[in-house]
Amino acid sequence: MSKQSFYYGWVIVGVAFLMLFITSGIIMTFGVFVETMTGELSWSKTGISIGIAMFMLIQGLLSPYIGSLVDQYGPRKVISIGVLCLAIVVGLISTVSALWHFILLYGVLAALAYTTTTLVTGSALVARWFEKKRGLAIGITMSGFPLGPMVFSPFITYLVLTFGWRQSFILLGLIIGLVLFPIILFLVKDSPLSEEEQEAEKAKQSQMPPLKYRELIKQSPYLKLAGAYFTCGFTMSIISNHYHGHTVNEGFSLIIGSNTLALMAILAFAGTILSGYVSDFIGRNYVLSLVYFLRGAAFLTIAFAPNLTVLIIAAVLFGISWTSTGPLTSALSGQIWGVKQMGKVFGAIFLVHQIGASLGALLGGIIFDHTHSYFWLFILGGVLLFVGTALTYTVKEQNISNKNVKVSASS
């Protein structure tokens, strides 16, 4: 086997996968800490929910700006600084004694640091290394997002029960700082281009006017992808916040709700990789449209599910489409606007996703309070997902940017 048979881009994929696996595993399983923290510190659930809601909002608002920093300074600098800051902030959460400490550290500072390690930065990094296999590469990378919470949830539960929540935050901060930070610092490279080629590319970029947000939000591909991604955030939030309540309200046991949700998470890992792989061959907009259709069918099936068998079918449909939207949307962003603007564009799309997520959580509570059921919430989610199906099906994949980037033929 020749020495040139291995492409370094796959190391980048591995590092980006590990980043999403660790950071999402730690941040997205914060619910494990809620009971012990509120009990010990005598905080209300509303109080701690303010910090969690602020985290989601700030993450969404910052995504376009973090994406712009990645485009301007390169993924390595932005991600390295962010990971180091996240390690420090997670460790400092162990010191909180007042609610405002938590809101500041988790709701603001952790959100800022975590935004540098999410789907936006991970996909922007990987996209620079791949062209022909970009869908597969980003799919593998983003599969770390659903896998992380699956693995870290029982691990963090063990830490909390064994060492307490304060010591657990210290240990998690050390994992980020002593494991993830050095790996990113020493293994991540911004581009497969040589230093001379990168300098030439920067000179070329400097002669072109940057893409402005007010121009971006008027473009048809952005409106379609962002509109569809709004429905993604809206419905993901419904599953995360109201699926358990719906299953119990419809007569299923809490265990059934938990087990079907676990099935969704397992299938999401496989679906994310598979959808990215398939999109490299038959067109990303068509695969993305199919993903939205399957999720819409899942929502309507959940709404009308008369028994466990039908609920399992719905779980399968939702699972294989759960996190597949991320790699496909980001890959399309790179294909349409160019990888050098991908951070800014996907960040702006992700902001709309987070707005949808916030509304999904809020509207679910409002609908239940008025109807004593989540039925119409899932119907609404299904209808919106079919709108997302139509929007993504009509997205044209041609590049509308002159900022194309040279990528190795091995990619």
Q: Does residue 403 lie in a domain region?
A: no
Would you state the pLDDT for residue 157? 86
Measured CA to CA, the distance from residue 36 to residue 132 in angstroms comes to 48
Q: Does residue 267 lie in a domain region?
A: yes
Classify 188 in phi/psi space as left (phi over 0), alpha (psi -120 to 50) or beta: beta
Do 388 and 263 lie in a common domain?
yes
Do 24 and 102 lie in a common domain?
yes
Answer whether residue 114 shows pLDDT above 80. Answer: yes
pLDDT in tens, 117-152: 988 899 899 989 998 888 899 999 999 988 888 888
Answer whether residue 236 shows pLDDT above 80. Answer: yes
Centre a 10 Å sphere on the Cβ of residue 98 and count the other Cβ atoms it contains.
Answer: 10
Contacts (Cβ under 8 Å, ≥6 apart) of 186: none
Do 128 and 187 lie in a common domain?
yes
Do 243 and 386 lie in a common domain?
yes
Centre a 10 Å sphere on the Cβ of residue 170 and count the other Cβ atoms it contains.
Answer: 16
Quick one: tokens of 11?
């190391």
pLDDT in tens, 15-70: 999 999 999 989 887 777 877 888 899 888 778 778 877 888 898 899 999 988 99
- Backbone dihedral angles phi then psi of residue 372, each to the nearest 5 degrees: 60, 30
How many domains in the chain? 2
Structure letter (DSSP) for residue 143: T
Do 104 and 85 lie in a common domain?
yes
Q: Does residue 372 lie in a domain region?
A: yes
The answer to whether 358 and 237 are in contact (CB under 8 A) is yes
Do 137 and 257 lie in a common domain?
no
Q: Does residue 402 lie in a domain region?
A: no
- Chain centre to alpha carbon of residue 105: 21
Answer whether residue 254 shows pLDDT above 70. Answer: yes
SS3 372: coil
Q: Range of 382's domain?
A: 213-393
Give residue for tokens 């000179």: 203
pLDDT in tens, 182-231: 999 999 998 887 565 555 555 555 555 677 888 898 999 999 999 999 99
- Chain centre to alpha carbon of residue 79: 15
Question: Alpha carbon of 302 to those of 36, 117, 245, 252, 258: distances in Å?
Answer: 32, 33, 12, 12, 14
- Chain centre to alpha carbon of residue 258: 21
Do 334 and 237 lie in a common domain?
yes
Give residue for tokens 């952005």: 222
Q: Does residue 411 lie in a domain region?
A: no
Quick one: tokens of 189?
């490279």
Half-sphere exposure of residue 119: CA atoms within 13 angstroms, side-chain side: 29
Q: Does residue 400 lie in a domain region?
A: no
Do 103 and 52 lie in a common domain?
yes
Do 242 and 343 lie in a common domain?
yes
Do 170 and 243 lie in a common domain?
no
Q: Does residue 67 lie in a domain region?
A: yes
Measured CA to CA, the distance from residue 45 to residue 30 in angstroms comes to 13
Q: Does residue 293 lie in a domain region?
A: yes
Would you state the pLDDT for residue 2? 47
Provide the pLDDT confidence category of residue 406 given band limits of 50, 70 and 90. very low
Do 266 and 164 lie in a common domain?
no
Do 76 and 116 lie in a common domain?
yes
Q: Is the dihedral of CA 95, 99, 100, 104 positive or negative?
A: positive
Would you state the pLDDT for residue 62? 92
CATH number at residue 217: 1.20.1250.20
